[in-house]
């Protein structure tokens, strides 16, 4: 069911409870380990298949369209409902749950979201892990400003970062042969962001499929990334690889000497 449809039909509390109940299950399983809740990032073509999605606008290219934080700030009641659910989790002892904003391309988006968080009783960085996705060249270019605004972590969305950097629609089979997360232009952006985040004591992570590739994992570890998400069937392989690399090189030396 479309979340905005719930809100427009006076069912905001139901939406809050849905988010609260499901995120609670995950947060409880991880104990005190951090869990980052990414705010809504469904595209219009994905929303249109839901009940209540018949009012979604038709977009020529939903990948570049109305989704992520840009949409959330246009539909503030939806974002406030998500923030209220996280506040409810914190009130119930699940303070390990943080918030991550997707598709950030401007510092003003972070500022507005932080203001809304405070309005629902959450203080970014004081009692809440707060971060952003790095998935566009724009977010790479403004990483210093984003860190300066105050964030605890960033997470690389390599699927989108790759497609936006290489101008390759990852859903278009005609250009799939050009899609490569290991392209130097992608790797240089990742390395640059990691280096800046080290200066600001901001944690770096990677999500998506790329972390399951041994060559990408090796690059990331040598670059000094703090954590990597991998597919379940790749966990052991990447853990062994990480241990091998870290035994050969002290991380501090790797961060200093590694150059692309």
Give the span between the Cα atoms of 94 and 257, in whole angstroms. Answer: 40
Q: What is the CATH number of the domain that holds 138?
A: 3.20.20.60
Evaluate whether 53 touches 4 at the Cβ level (below 8 Å): no
Q: Is residue 46 part of a domain?
A: no
Give the span between the Cα atoms of 241 and 140, in whole angstroms. Answer: 27
Give the span between the Cα atoms of 37 and 86, in whole angstroms. Answer: 8
Q: Is residue 169 part of a domain?
A: yes
> Which domain range does residue 220 map to?
129-260
Q: Is residue 23 part of a domain?
A: no
| Domain total in the chain | 1
Ramachandran assignment for 186, one of left (phi > 0), alpha (psi -120 to 50 degrees), beta (any other):
alpha
Question: Model confidence at 147, in pLDDT bands (50, 70, 90)?
Answer: very high
When mean pLDDT is compared across 116-125, 127-136, 225-234, the lowest value belongs to 116-125
End-to-end CA gap in the chain: 46
Q: Is residue 63 part of a domain?
A: no
Q: pTM of the full predicted structure?
A: 0.90
Evaluate whether 41 touches 33 at the Cβ level (below 8 Å): no
Q: Is residue 222 part of a domain?
A: yes
Q: Is residue 9 part of a domain?
A: no
Place of tokens 């090189």: 249
Q: Is residue 157 part of a domain?
A: yes
Given this model, what pLDDT does residue 252 score?
57
Q: Percent helix, strand and coil across the chain, each rounded to 5?
A: 55, 10, 30
Q: Is residue 119 part of a domain?
A: no
């Amino acid at each position: 069911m479309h979340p905005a449809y719930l809100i427009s039909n006076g069912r905001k509390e139901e939406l809050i409870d849905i988010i609260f109940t499901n995120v609670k299950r995950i947060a409880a399983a991880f104990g005190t380990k951090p869990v980052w809740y990414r705010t809504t990032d469904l595209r219009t073509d994905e929303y249109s298949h839901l009940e209540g999605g018949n009012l979604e606008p038709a977009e020529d290219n939903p990948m570049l369209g109305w989704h992520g934080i840009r949409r959330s700030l246009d539909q503030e009641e939806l974002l406030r409902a998500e923030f209220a659910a996280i506040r409810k989790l914190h009130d119930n002892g699940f303070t390990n749950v943080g918030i991550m904003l997707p598709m950030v391309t401007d510092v003003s988006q972070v500022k507005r979201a932080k203001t809304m968080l405070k309005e629902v009783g959450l203080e970014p960085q004081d009692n809440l892990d707060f971060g952003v996705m790095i998935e566009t060249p724009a977010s790479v270019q403004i990483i210093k400003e984003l860190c300066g605004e105050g964030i605890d972590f960033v997470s690389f969305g390599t699927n989108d970062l790759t497609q936006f950097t290489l101008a390759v629609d990852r859903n278009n089979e005609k250009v799939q042969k050009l899609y490569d997360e290991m392209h130097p232009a992608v790797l240089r952006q990742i390395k640059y962001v990691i280096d800046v985040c080290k200066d600001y004591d901001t944690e770096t992570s990677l999500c998506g499929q790329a972390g399951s590739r041994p060559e990408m994992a090796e690059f990331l570890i040598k670059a000094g990334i703090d954590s990597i998400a991998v597919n379940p069937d790749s966990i052991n392989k990447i853990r062994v690889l990480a241990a091998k690399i870290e035994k050969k090189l002290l991380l501090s030396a790797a961060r200093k000497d590694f150059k692309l």
